[in-house]
A and B are shown apart, each in its own frame.
Chain A
Amino acid sequence: MTTEAIQERLKPIVKPYVNNQENFNNLTSESNFIEDLEINSANLVDIVLDVEDEFDIRIENDDMEKMINVEATVNVIQKKLANK
């Protein structure tokens, strides 16, 4: 799956937890979940679990640790899909 396609599928997963709508509307690969989208850290686990369900993958702690922005999250998903 292309980076763009993964990012498109990631958007509706992240959306319910976003507190900065403007930055979400201008989402880029560099958008940081906490700093830019103002997602509360308590919700990061919900996003990780939603990503696992949506892409039918399992994310270990080492990978979860990096999932704080769009690019890193897309990379983790891409790697997991490639290894399926």
Chain B
Amino acid sequence: MIGNDIVDLAKADRESNIFRLRFLEKICSQEEIKLILSNQNSTHLYWRIWSMKESAYKAFQRKCKFETAFNPFAFSCQLYDSQNGRVCFKNESVSVQTIHTDEFIYSEIKDNVHKNCFFGSTSDFMDHLKDKLKLNSIPEFQKTKEGLPFVNLSSQILEVSKTHHGNFQAFQY
């Protein structure tokens, strides 16, 4: 499965206040809220949990083809250590890995097929693919009618998950 999500922490701090009344209850379970509020850095833990849920949402939307919905509470997170965790949705679950820097938090579904990650603009990503896969021309970044990104490599279709927030953008492929 494939799905990723990035949070620009400076932008998130400017735009959202997780301590606002009823904020956490809209997104998180009571267990998740307890973890967040008991953590030294509640805001960063919230954004980690958010990015895990969002990555899983993208993965399950691609797999189950459900209609767009704003249902973060349907995805529940378990945290194993500072990087690894699991997100449950209905009767299924996915492993998610999260990278945390001073500037951003990035989560990605752990998958044996889609192991690669690229940080940068879409055109830089296309240049990167051309070099890496030794293509004759720069491939085109496209979206299915459901809005799912992919790259057409003439010989095959490369599934891609794209995430962008503030100053940061990343691709899983």
Contact = CB atoms under 8 A, between A and B. Distances in A.
A66 B70 CA distance: 6
Interface string A5-31: 000000000001100000000000000
A4 B41 CA distance: 43
A65 B50 contact: no
B70 A46 contact: no
A66 to B, nearest CB: 7
A79 B163 CA distance: 34
A64 B22 CA distance: 13
A7 B16 CA distance: 23
Task: Give chain A's interface secondary structure class.
Answer: helix
Interface centre among A40, A46, A52, A67 (most CB of B within 10 A): A40
Interface string B20-42: 11110011000000000000000
Q: How large is the interface on A (under 10, 10 to 19, 20 to 34, 35 or more residues)?
A: 20 to 34
A60 to B, nearest CB: 10
Contacts of B16: 42-43, 45-46
Given A40-B165, A41-B54, A64-B26, A46 B68 contact: no
Contact of A34 (B21, B22, B50, B68): B68
A83 interface: no
Given A40-B165, A49-B23, 4 more contacts: A34-B68, A41-B54, A42-B54, A52-B22
